[in-house]
Chains A and B, each alone.
Chain A
Amino acid sequence: MKTAAGLLGAWGLVFAQIEAPAHDPSRFQFLALSVLVCLLLAEGIGLVRDRTRWRGGLFRSLVWLAAGAAIYNPGLVASISKPLGIGRAADLVSYVVALAFLGTTFYFYSRYVRLERQVTELARLMAIDRAQRGKGPASGASQESSELPKP
């Protein structure tokens, strides 16, 4: 919790250092920043209600703050992209989005595969538990459940 508060505080200081843009905020900036503030408030309320999930809340809050900083002052992204050797700020955003998309896709695919395996194992256990014996023409056995002694 202290770590989370420290990180968020540090981000707040970074935010305070950002120069205000020369012109008034556009409608998009106003709307987007309003939404981000609401999201941050929701994260804060969630944190107060359930303190055990602070790691996820902290991660999301940092993402919202980064998005807010980039929207509030687009020049900030340009100041990061240039030292990285990327000419345009928009290119940096594209690269980050592409990498995030790939990472997210792989993360969810991995989770899907694990979940599918778990569900299959559950279905398997249920099916074996309910095995039935067919009635053979010569065996004369009636339909019965799988209560044969196991070796």
Chain B
Amino acid sequence: MHTHSDVWVVIAAWCEAPRLARTLAGVCAQDVQVVVVDDGSTDETARVALEHPVWLISHPFNCGQGAALQTGIDFTLERGAKTIVTFDADGQHVAEEIPHLVKPIAAGDVDVVLGSRFLSAAAEGMPRARRAVLRLAVLFTRIFSGIRVTDTHNGFRAFSRRAAQEIRITQNRMAHGSEILDQISHRGLSYCEVPVTIRYNAETLAKGQSGWNALRIVSQLFLSRLVR
């Protein structure tokens, strides 16, 4: 597919070769431009990406998902993107929901659209422990950032060009999700949530957030307030 769409999808991928082809097949079928940021993978992620009509940016070493997303966003802004979508590489998001996600931005209603798994029917296969950690994260975000959302660590989101230019991800690793919310609140960007589907399976769960990671994210956010 050759497209001149103003909607760009940024996919940060680290060692996602077994899952990336399926994810890209779904995303490339949409009327979007795609950039895959290979975050220092040691497997065939880059080769798999180059078999699809996408742009590939390769970090020379593993910098983290937050850093990879910012790299992709910088690249899309350089190329005139009007709307930027972040999408996980492991196939837990549904590509057909991209038009639904970008609709409020295209209509000029908001600067940022956040996908929420809790606004839709129960996320497929979500374990109870994961649900509890995410609920705690929602509470923490309300206290820490003063922003009311129902899903704090959903990688499926969309930014207007203005929002993407204003937000700067400095948390290289998993705390970037909370940092984005913090910056939305701090910079007074308008936002809304839309229901999205998250598909859980053994592979995505193995790479997802654990309770221990949640503690690390909290500590990184507190330290980031001290170190600017």
Contact = CB atoms under 8 A, between A and B. Distances in A.
Chain B interface secondary structure, helix, strand, loop or mixed?
mixed
A124 interface: yes
Contacts of A143: 50
Contacts of A106: 226
Nearest to B50: A134
B128 interface: no
A123 B60 contact: yes
Nearest to B81: A151
Interface string B14-58: 000000000000001000000111000000000001111111111
A107 to B, nearest CB: 10
Given A120-B172, A127-B60, A136 B223 contact: no
B140 interface: no
Contact of A134 (B53, B60, B224): B53
9 contacts: A116-B172, A124-B74, A127-B60, A131-B56, A131-B57, A132-B58, A134-B54, A135-B51, A137-B52
Interface of A: 106, 109-110, 113-114, 116-117, 120, 123-124, 126-128, 130-139, 141, 143, 146, 148, 150-151
Contact of A128 (B2, B57, B226): B57
Contacts, number: 90
A134 B227 contact: no
Given A127-B60, A131-B56, A151-B79, 17 more contacts: A113-B224, A120-B63, A120-B67, A123-B59, A123-B60, A127-B58, A131-B75, A132-B50, A132-B58, A134-B49, A134-B55, A134-B56, A135-B53, A141-B53, A143-B50, A151-B78, A151-B80
Interface of B: 1-2, 28, 35-37, 49-61, 63, 67, 70-71, 74-75, 78-80, 170, 172, 223-224, 226-227
Contact of A127 (B2, B54, B57, B170): B57
